[in-house]
Structures are given as C-alpha cells and as structure tokens.
Structure 1
Amino acid sequence: MTTGTEETPLTIDELAARAGVTVRTVRFYGSKGLLPPPVLGPRRVGHYGPGHVARLALIEELQQQGMTLAGIERYLRQLPADLTPHDLAIHRAVVASWAPDAVETVSRRELERRAGRPLGEEDVERLAAMNVVVPAGGDDYRVDAGLLRLGVRLLDVPLSQEAILAARKVLVEHSRAAAHELSQLFRGEVEERDARDVKSLSAHMHPLVVQALLTTFQRSLREELSEWLTGSGTG
C-alpha cells in the first residue's frame, strides 16, 4: 500500500497520536500484518504515511461494527494491495453504513463537528438534497451517519447538484437490482437451514458482498475513465 509522499512522514509516536491509539497497538497491528511495515529513513527510523493513518481508521471502524480481530484480518487480507488512502476512506465509509441504526438526530453544532468543517446553508441544502440530512425542526437534523462522510466530500466535487443526484439514482437502482439478484441466489442455499444458521450466514456474507461490490465497481470505474480519457485525447 502506498504510504504517500504528499504529507510529512510520521514517526510511530506521531502515527499513534494521529490515529488515537497507543504505540503498542500500532506495533501489535504491524506484527499481525494489519499494517504494512514503515518505510525506513535515515538511521533506519521507521516512517509512516497517509496510508497507515487510513488503514488504522478502517480498523477502528471495523472494531466499532463488532468485528473480531480474526474477522478484521480476513477483511484486510482480501483488500487489493494497491489501495490508496482515498480508497481506504471509501471502504471505511461503506463499513460505517453497515450499522443498523445509522440515522440519528443531532444539533447543527454536532452535525458540523461530525462533518469536520463548518457548513453553510447551501451546504446543508445540498446534503439534504442527497438525503444525507433531513431537517427535524428547530436546530436539529436527522443524519445518515453512514453517508455523512461521503456527502461532505461531495460538497467539494466540481459537479452540478443535478449530476450528483442523477449519479445517486443510477447507483441506488443498480444496487437494489444487484441486492435482489444476490438474495435470490443465496435464498436456495438457506431454505433448508434453521433461523440461527440463516442469521449467521447473513452476518458473514454482508461485509463480504459489500467489499466485493465496492472493489469490482472501483476497478470498472477506473477502466471506464481510462477509456474515456484515452478516447478524448486527454490521456
């Protein structure tokens, strides 16, 4: 995984402070293979980068969703080796959306704290148009916690609101179609099992299917964009 050169390299102490964990935890994750080794600099001092920060944030999110250490190891082992910090952030956003009760009511101040930035009225209107937030009366908003990070990032994307909503419609429609077909495919496998087996299978398949869909979509999108740029003569 690329550690990145656009930011100042971090020592292990700085990485631990940035991620909100202990140095011992960083070393433990490294020994388990959950974190790639640091880049050795002068005097053989290990340096860490944005990729390590993003990986630690993803591990934290997986833990918050109740995944065991063994489950986290399996999840990370199946990720492509060339994921960028941005790719890892997307995976973290998807993991956050697994929470069954992702919609919460928060104040405007809490909304901005979670967004990590001030939000103007136009920003809130755009988030509402994307169904990320819904006015709940007064100074309160109902927030889809799983979509908030993505919605905030979209505020800076140089696309019109119409284009973003059209893209959302495409993704929702195709996601529902894929979910329906996959549920039909798995239904035959669980019809003869009892309720506990079905619940266990669902718990295991949910993150794996989400990960497979996300990885496949990322690769397909890269191929489409590459072909488009090559065809337009800008690549």
Structure 2
Amino acid sequence: MTTDAGETPLTIDELAARAGVTVRTVRFYAAKGLLPPPEIGPRRVGHYGPGHVARLALIEELRQQGMTLAAIERYLRQLPPDLPPHGLAIHRAVVASWAPDAEETVPRRELERRVGRPLAEQDIERLAAMNVVVAHDGDTFRVDAGLLRLGVRLLDVPLSLEAIRAAREVLVEHSRAAAHELARLFRGEVAERDAQDVKSLSAHMHPLVVQALLTTFQRSLREELSEWLTGSGTG
C-alpha cells in the first residue's frame, strides 16, 4: 500500500496520532499482518499514507464493535487487496452502523472538530442533504456517527444538492426493499425457534448481511460505471 500522489507521508508517530492509538498498537497490528508495511524512505524511515490511515480506522471500528482479533483478521482477509482508502472508509461507515444507536446530538464546535475543518453553511446543507446531520436547536446538530466520515468525504465532490438528495432516495428505497425481502426470508427460517435463538441469529446475521450487500453493491456499481465509460468512449 503506497502513499497517494500529493499526500504528505506520515511517520509511525503521526499515523498513531491521526488514528488516536499508540505507536505500540500500530506496531502490534503490523506484526499481525493487519496493516501493510510502510514505504521505506530516506534514512530507512517508514512512511505511511491515506490507505494506512483508513485501514487503521477500520480496524479500530471493528475492535470497538466487540470483534475479536481473529474475527478482525477474517474480515480483513475478505476485502480486496487493492481496496483504496475511500473503499475502506465505506466499510468503516457500514461497521459503525452495526451499533444499536449511531446518532448523537453535538454542538457545532464539536461537529467541526470531528470533521476536521470549519463548516460553512453550504457544508451543513450538503451534510443535511445526505442525512448525516439534522439541525436540532440553534447551533446544535443531531449527527449520524456512522455516516459522518463518508459525508465529510463527499463535501467536496462536485454533485448538486438535487443529485445528492435523489441518490439518497434511491439508496433508501432499494435498501428498505432488500431489508424487507431478507427479513421475510429469515422469518420463515426461525418460525419454529424460541426467542433466544431468534435474537442470537439476528446478532450474527446483521453484520454478515450488511457486508454481503455492500460487496454486491460495489461490484454492481463498478460494472455499471465500466459499461457507462465504455459506451461514452471515455474508458
């Protein structure tokens, strides 16, 4: 995994600080093979890039969701080896959505601290269009923590508010339809089981189904974009 062009490489201390972990933790993950090795720069100093930052954030999210080290290793092995930072960020957002309640109410200053930059009114409007934030009371906002990082990455993407709202409606509509059909299928499987079995099955199936839907959607979108680019003569 290499640093991206135009991105300032990070030392291991800077990587740890960016991720909010210790250098010892970074080295532990690297020794376990969860983090790829850094690029070796002058004086044999290791340099880390956006891919390392995104992967480390995903690992920490998985850990906070209660996954064991072995489970995290299995999860990461299923990811494409060349998955770019934004793909890792999407996985992290999905993992964060496993939490029973991903919404918080925070003041504007705290929201800007989490985003990492001051927010203009147009930024707030774009985050609201993605349903990442909802104005709560004055300068206080209800924030969907699971979508926040993804929303921040989309702030500077050249899409109109209308396109963002329309895309969200498409995703919500089809996600609900898929959830309804899957729930109907699983209800048939658990009809004869007791309540504890149903609860256990739900806890196990939730992350598996989410990951399966994400992987299937990514492949379908990649195929659609490839066909579009080929048809338009720009591929």
Give how far 1:184 is off.
Answer: 1.9
Residues 146-198 of structure 1 deviation map (CA, whole Å, 9 limit, x = unaligned) = 22222232221111111111111111111111111111222222223222222
SS state of the match for residue 143, structure 1?
strand
| Matched letter for residue 182 of structure 1 | L
Give 5+ residue unaligned stretches, structure 2.
none
Residue in structure 2 matched with residue 67 of structure 1 by the alignment: 67
Residues 20-51 of structure 1 deviation map (CA, whole Å, 9 limit, x = unaligned) = 32333222222322222334556765443322
Sort the Cα spacing of 1:51 and 1:153 in 2 relative to 1 into closer, same or farther, 3 A. closer
SS state of the match for residue 204, structure 2?
helix
Residue in structure 2 matched with residue 3 of structure 1 by the alignment: 2
Whole-Å Cα distance in 1 between the matches of residues 13 and 128 of structure 2? 40
Residue in structure 1 matched with residue 27 of structure 2 by the alignment: 27
Aligned length: 234
Residue in structure 1 matched with residue 122 of structure 2 by the alignment: 122
Residue in structure 2 matched with residue 210 of structure 1 by the alignment: 210
SS state of the match for residue 137, structure 2?
coil
Answer yes or no: is the 8 Å Cα contact 2:129–2:164 preserved in 1.
Answer: no
Whole-Å Cα distance in 2 between the matches of residues 69 and 117 of structure 1? 33
Whole-Å Cα distance in 2 between the matches of residues 10 and 154 of structure 1? 23
Of 182-191 and 105-114, the range deviating more from structure 2:
182-191
What TM-score, normalized to structure 2?
0.89
SS state of the match for residue 35, structure 1?
coil
Of 54-63 and 95-104, the range deviating more from structure 2:
95-104
Sort the Cα spacing of 1:110 and 1:12 in 2 relative to 1 into closer, same or farther, 3 A. closer
Of 186-195 and 102-111, the range deviating more from structure 2:
186-195
Residues 175-226 of structure 1 deviation map (CA, whole Å, 9 limit, x = unaligned) = 1111111112222222232222222222222112111111221122112111
Whole-Å Cα distance in 2 between the matches of residues 223 and 233 of structure 1? 15
| Matched letter for residue 112 of structure 1 | E
SS state of the match for residue 37, structure 1?
coil
Residue in structure 1 matched with residue 54 of structure 2 by the alignment: 54
Sort the Cα spacing of 1:207 and 1:139 in 2 relative to 1 into closer, same or farther, 3 A. same
Sort the Cα spacing of 1:138 and 1:186 in 2 relative to 1 into closer, same or farther, 3 A. same
Of 34-43 and 148-157, the range deviating more from structure 2:
34-43
SS state of the match for residue 104, structure 2?
strand
Give how far 1:19 is off.
Answer: 2.5
Sort the Cα spacing of 1:47 and 1:116 in 2 relative to 1 into closer, same or farther, 3 A. closer
| Matched letter for residue 202 of structure 1 | S
SS state of the match for residue 234, structure 2?
coil
What TM-score, normalized to structure 1?
0.89
Residues 104-124 of structure 1 deviation map (CA, whole Å, 9 limit, x = unaligned) = 211111121122221112222
Residues 119-142 of structure 1 deviation map (CA, whole Å, 9 limit, x = unaligned) = 112222232233222222232121
Task: Give the 5 Å matches for 1:150-229.
Answer: 150-229=150-229
Give 5+ residue unaligned stretches, structure 1.
none
| Matched letter for residue 197 of structure 1 | D
